[in-house]
Amino acid sequence: MIRGALALAAGLSAAGAAGADPLLLEGHGGPVMDVTVAPDGQVATASFDNSVGLWNGAEPRWLEGHDAAVNAVAFLPGGGLASAADDFDVILWRDGAPISRLEGHAGKVMALAPEGERVASASWDGSARLWSAADGTLLQEFDGHDGPVNDVAFLDAGTLLTASADGTVRVWDAAAGTEARQIVTGGFGVNRMALAPDGAWLAYGTVDGTARVLDTATGDEIADLSAGRRPILALTVSPDGSHLAIGNGEGHILVARTGDWSVLHDFRATDRGPIWSLDFAPDGARLYAAGLDAAVHVWPLADLDAQDAMSTADAAFLTDPATVPNGERQFKRKCSVCHTLTGDGARRAGPTLAGLFGRPAGAIADYPYSDALADSDVTWTAETVSALFEIGPAHYVPGTKMPMQRIAGAEDRADLIDYLRRETAPKE
Ligand code: HEC
C-alpha cells in the first residue's frame, strides 16, 4: 500500500501555522503528492486537485490537463516538464502548455525519471516505460515485476532501476529493455529510491519502514537508517550528494549526512499525516516537504550548513556523532530545526528557547503563538518541559501548534533539559 491508498480524512496542520512558518507554497486545492526543485530554483508540484503548480515568482502557474490526481512531476533537462497521474497518462509540457500526452500505461503512473532527451515512467500496471521527452514516442517497455512499480531512476544513461511493491529493485538495460539483475530482493514492498549523484550508492525505503543504503556496484549494505515501522514515502538526496532526507507515513523527516551516515535531524514535521515528497533547494539549505496539506512547507536547515561549514573548514574540529553528549544530540535532532537557543532572530517555525527556564508559556513578544499556548498558565521549568515531552505537546497543552512528539526515555529527557538549561541561560 502506498501513497494513493492512505487515508485522506485526517487534516494536516504542519508546524508553525500561518505567520510562523518560514515559507509556504500555497494555492493547491488538495493534498500535494510531489514537489521537485530544478537546478535554477524553480519548484513544481503535483496535486490531488488534478493540476501541476509551477512556482517561479510571486504567482504560481497552474498547468491543467490531467483528468485525475497528479502523482509526480519532473523538470526535463531539455526544458519543460513531465507529469504523471491517476488517469494513467504522462503529459509533456512546454511553456506551461501540454505538447503531448503519453498514453499506454494500464494503471496509475506514480513516478518519473528524466534523463537527457528521455523520460521513464513507473506504473501500478506493473511496468515501466521509456519515452522520448521531445515528441512522446514510446522507446521501450520494462516488464517483469510481480506487482505495482512505485519508482524509477536512471543509474546511468544506459541503466534503469525500478522499485516495486513486489519487494524488488531491478536493474535494466535501458536500450534493450532486458533485466540485468535484482539489487534488492525478497523484502517488503519498495516505495522509493534515491541515488547518489555519481550513482555510487542507492538508498531505498519500504512499506515497513526499512531505509537502507547499498553500494550499487556490489549490492553490499552501506548504511541502515530504518527508524520504526512507518512506511517510507519520500526519499531525496541533496544536489551535491552530501545529505539524504527521508519522509515517512507519520510525518517524520530524517536528515542524514551521507559522509558518515550520521543523523542530523529527526523531527516530526506534521502532526497528522504522511510526508509524500521531499526535495532540497539547489544549495541544500532548505527542504521542501509535501503531504496531506494543500500547502508545501519549506524547512530551513541552517544547522546543517553550520555543521558542514565547520567540517569542511577544519576536519579535525569535526566531532564524531557518537561522542556528542546525549542532551545536545537530542536537541540537534529533535528541536533545532524549529527552535534557536540564542534569540538571534533566526527564523524558525517555533519561538526561541533563549531564557526559557522561569519564563511563562507564550512570552516571546513578536512570536505568533497559538491561543492555546498563549492562554495557558504554564511556567517553563525542568519539570514542565519534561512533562511536555513525556506526554507530548498536544496532550500537555491541547490546541498547541507544536507538532506531536514524545521523548519516551526519562534519561533522554533529563539530558535534554540539562543541555537546554546550560544553553538557554542568559549570558552575562
Ligand atoms: C516541527 C517544529 C518543532 C519542533 C521539532 C519542536 N518544536 Fe517546540 N514549538 C514549536 C512551535 C510551532 C511552538 C509554538 C507552539 C504554539 O504556539 O502553540 C513551540 C513551542 C515550544 C515551547 C514553548 C515555548 C514558549 O515560549 O512558550 C517549548 C518549551 C518548546 N517548543 C520546546 C521544544 C523542544 C525542547 C523541542 C525538541 C524536543 C521542540 N520544541 C521541538 C515547534 C517545534
| pLDDT score for 410 | 92
> Partners of 291 in the beta sheet?
275
Nearest to 265 by CA among 293, 307, 296: 307
**Cβ–ligand 1 contact at 385 (below 6 Å):** yes
For residue 282, the CA-to-ligand 1 centroid distance in Å is 28
Mean pLDDT of 215-235: 92
CATH architecture, domain 324-424: Orthogonal Bundle (1.10)
Residue scoring higher pLDDT (347 or 374):
374
**pLDDT grade, residue 297 (50/70/90)?**
confident
User: Position of cell 579535525?
Assistant: 316
Ligand 1 atom closest to the Cα of residue 16 is 12
* Under 8 Å between Cβ of 81 and 118: no
**Cβ–ligand 1 contact at 337 (below 6 Å):** yes
| pLDDT score for 387 | 92
Report whether pLDDT(21) > 50.
Answer: no
As a residue count, the chain comes to 428
> Hey, where are the domains in the chain?
3-310, 324-424
Question: CA-to-CA distance for 248 and 300, rounded, in angstroms?
Answer: 19
Ligand 1 atom closest to the Cα of residue 335 is 37
> Partners of 169 in the beta sheet?
163, 184
The alpha carbon dihedral of 164, 169, 174, 176 has a sign of negative
CATH class of 3-310: mainly beta
Report whether pLDDT(76) > 90.
Answer: yes
Pocket test for ligand 1, best of 331, 338, 395, 396 (most atoms within 8 A of CB): 338
Report whether pLDDT(316) > 60.
Answer: no
pLDDT in tens, 350-386: 899 999 999 999 999 888 899 999 999 999 999 999 9
Nearest to 389 by CA among 368, 416, 367: 416
Q: Where are the alpha helices (DSSP H) in 51-168?
A: none
Q: Residue with the nearest Cα to atom 36 of ligand 1?
A: 335
**Cβ–ligand 1 contact at 389 (below 6 Å):** yes
Question: CA-to-CA distance for 234 and 246, rounded, in angstroms?
Answer: 6
| DSSP one-letter code for 273 | S
Ligand 1 atom closest to the Cα of residue 407 is 38
**Cβ–ligand 1 contact at 15 (below 6 Å):** yes
**Cβ–ligand 1 contact at 253 (below 6 Å):** no
Ligand 1 atom closest to the Cα of residue 349 is 12
Q: Which runs of E-coded beta strand occur in 238-329?
A: 243-248, 252-257, 263-268, 275-280, 286-291, 296-300
For residue 15, the CA-to-ligand 1 centroid distance in Å is 9
pLDDT in tens, 235-271: 999 999 999 999 999 888 999 999 999 888 888 887 6
pLDDT in tens, 276-296: 999 999 999 889 999 888 889
**Cβ–ligand 1 contact at 403 (below 6 Å):** yes
Mean pLDDT of 57-72: 91
For residue 357, the CA-to-ligand 1 centroid distance in Å is 14
Does the fold of domain 324-424 match that of domain 3-310?
Answer: no
- The model's pTM is 0.73
Pairing, β 286-291 against β 243-248: unpaired
Report whether pLDDT(9) > 50.
Answer: no
* Under 8 Å between Cβ of 71 and 6: no
